[in-house]
Each structure stands twice: as structure tokens, then as C-alpha cells.
Amino acid sequence: DAYDAGEHDSFMHKEMLEQPAAAERVLRGRLDERFGTAHLGGLNMDARETRAIRRVKILGCGSAYYVGQMGASLVEELARIPADAEAASEFRYRNPIIEPDTLYVAVSQSGETIDTLLAVQEIRRKGGRVIGLVNVVGSAIARECDGGIYLHAGPEVAVASTKALTNMFLGFALLALQLGRVRDLSIADGRRLIAGLQRLPGQIEEVLAQEDALAELAGRLAEAESLFFVGRVRGFPVAREGAQKFKEISYRHAEAYQTSELKHGPLALISPEVPTVAIVPEDELTDRNVGALHEIDARRGPLVVVTHDGVDLGGLAAERIVVPRNERELDPILLTVPLQLLAYHAALRLGHDIDKPRNLAKSVTVE
């Protein structure tokens, strides 16, 4: 029964472990290795319309908004189209300028989030084109959009979203690939990304296999009243999502920051009582990231670094969580999965209700 947590203590645990299979499903039948592209028939756009897009604007709430930020990076990196994400709850109140050559993307697990739905209606009222990245088939947002990509994550019951978010990321990767291949993205790069996408389900499995070590680490993090999650550029939405998950179910104060901004204020809060979880993939910014983390180390702030094997942390006194390497553009999702396990095990240690955290609903259908 898909609605039964089975041998798991919670739906969140079941849903985290379902991620490799869910990831396979969202990719299935949508990758074209021959032409190095993706096929997304549900977008309802022909090649001419796809080429005419000059900007991409992504709207979602909470974690869907943070994955939207990851999606905006994918679109900019692969398709070289200016893209950004905005909280759907804010969008309609600033009388947004709706442009005919902008592709609006609404992203939602439930497809029922009122703020995202009202943003879609506002865009359509003003003549904009909106597509949906939605998990629940036939939901209100899916019905209101001009087209879209179903996420095929399967039913998600836990308030803390996991497998749907992973599939949102993959949905954005498919979209970015398709937009990229009618522009400047080469066939070789398209194939490189397809190969990377095909490796992801197995690599997510590898991260999930680290659960015991992550549980032990989470037990220690759960003792802190307050934590930072930091990252830069591709790593910043990862940090935001990591902090979000941690606060939702552990009820600890978890604040996300750009690593580069620490010195402009929050460094004042670093102490041996305030741990920092830092996202440090091997990429163009590794050295700068490590440099900034030395500022934390010097103030005896405990550090957990989510990184790749062999990254030189320059003697930092840090605990390492190592995730597999993939194509750099796809790093964010592999960096996100261990943060789900940290939040889950911290909440478990603290004895909280994992699936139904206080004050929160699975989908927010009233303003």
C-alpha cells in the first residue's frame, strides 16, 4: 500500500529512501541520448516558441522556492537565459511586470498551495505563459497552467518534503536541457548532462547508505539551540533547504547564509555553541569557501562540511560528509540529500513527531 509507512518509523523516512526510484521515474522516457536533449511533450510549446523565451521566472513557496533557485541556476548555466526564482507568496503583491517573452514556471508538490495558485492566476490574467512543475496530477495548479512537467515522485505524506523536491530539481534539469539545446548548448554537453542525470539515482542511493554515520552526527547537532547553514552560488539554495528542513522538524533555529556574507554580520554569532553546516563542493569557489570557513574555525565554531572526496580543507577542524561527484551543474541535489538525513535524525533524537511537525500543514491552502 503506497499510503503505508511499512517498516519505516515515519513517512519521511520511507519517502527519503524512495528517492532513487522516484528519480528514475521523472527521467524515464524523457532523455534523448542521440540528440543530447530532453523531450517534455507536456510543455505544449513548439521549437519556435521555445527559442523565443528571453527570461525564466520561477515561483514557489518554502522548499519549492529554494529548489526553484537551484532550477534558476540550471537554466542560466545550461540555456544561458536569465532566470530567477521568487517566493510565490510575495509575487502578486508587488504588481509584477508580466512579459510576453518570459516563461513563468510554478513549482509545487501538492499543486494546491494557494500562494502559488494565485501567482499563476495573476500571470495568466495579464497574458503571461505559465508552466507547472507539479507532483499531484490534476491538482489546481496543474489545471491552471498552460502546460508542464509532472514530477512522478508518487504520493508524499510527510510535511517535510524530500522526494518531490529531488524530482523538482530533476524536472528543472530536463527543462534547462531542452531550453539549452535549442540555443547554445552543444550536443556533447547535452550528452554529458544526460550521462550525469542517469548516474544520479545510484549516487543518491550511495548518500542514503551513509545514514548511520549521519544519524550519529545529527544527534550531536540536535544539542545546539542554533545553527548556521552556509553555501555560495549553487550551494546557497542547498543551504537554505538544509536549514528549512532542520527547523521544520527539529524546531532548532537554523539560519541559512551565503558563506561570502558571513563577514558582513553573522560572524558575530559564531561560538563553540553554534555549529555551522557548510556546503563546499569541488568547484570554482572551493578555495574561497575554505578561506571563509577558517574565520569560523578561528572562533571555535564547530564545522560540518558537505563536500567531495579529496577536497583540501586546508587543515580545518571539520567533520566531513562526502557526496559522490557528478557534473557540477547537478551537484546541488547530491549535496541536499545528506541534509534531509541530518534533519530527520536530529528530530528523531529530540523525540518530535517527524511527519506532522507542530504548526505546519502539508499543503497551505488558505492565505
Footprint of ligand AGP (CB under 6 A): 61-64, 108-110, 113, 116, 159-161, 248, 363-364
Beta 37-38 vs 31-32: how paired, if at all?
Answer: antiparallel
For 72, how many CA atoms within 13 A lie in the half-sphere containing its CB?
25
Q: Residues 289, 232: contact at Cβ < 8 Å?
A: yes
**Cβ proximity to ligand AGP, 36 vs 60, nearer residue:** 60
Distance CA 287, CA 23 (A): 32
Residue 79 vs 151, nearer CB to ligand AGP: 151
If the CB atoms of residues 154 and 324 are measured against ligand AGP, the closer one turns out to be: 154
In whole angstroms, how close is the CB of 357 to ligand AGP at the nearest point? 8
We find the least distance from the C-beta atom of residue 256 to ligand AGP, in angstroms, to be: 13
Q: Kindly tell me which of 165 and 221 has the beta carbon lying closer to ligand AGP.
A: 165
Find the shortest distance in angstroms from Cβ 103 to ligand AGP: 19
Q: Please, what is the minimum distance in Å from the beta carbon of residue 114 to ligand AGP?
A: 9
Q: Nearest 5 degrees, angle CA 53-CA 59-CA 62?
A: 155
Give CA–CA dist 65/23, Å, rounded: 19
Query: What single DSSP character describes residue 362?
Result: S
DSSP string, 204-242: HHHHHTTHHHHHHHHHHHTT-SEEEEEE-TTHHHHHHHH
Provide the minimum distance between the beta carbon of 351 and ligand AGP in the complex, in angstroms, as a whole number.
20
Shortest distance, CB of residue 61 to ligand AGP, whole angstroms? Answer: 4
Q: Which is nearer to ligand AGP, 108 or 326 (CB)?
A: 108
Buried-exposed string 279-291: b where 16+ CB fall within 10 A, e elsewhere: bbbebebbeebbe
Contact indicator for 306, 321 with CB cutoff of 8 Å:
yes
Nearest residue to the partner ligand AGP, using Cβ: 62
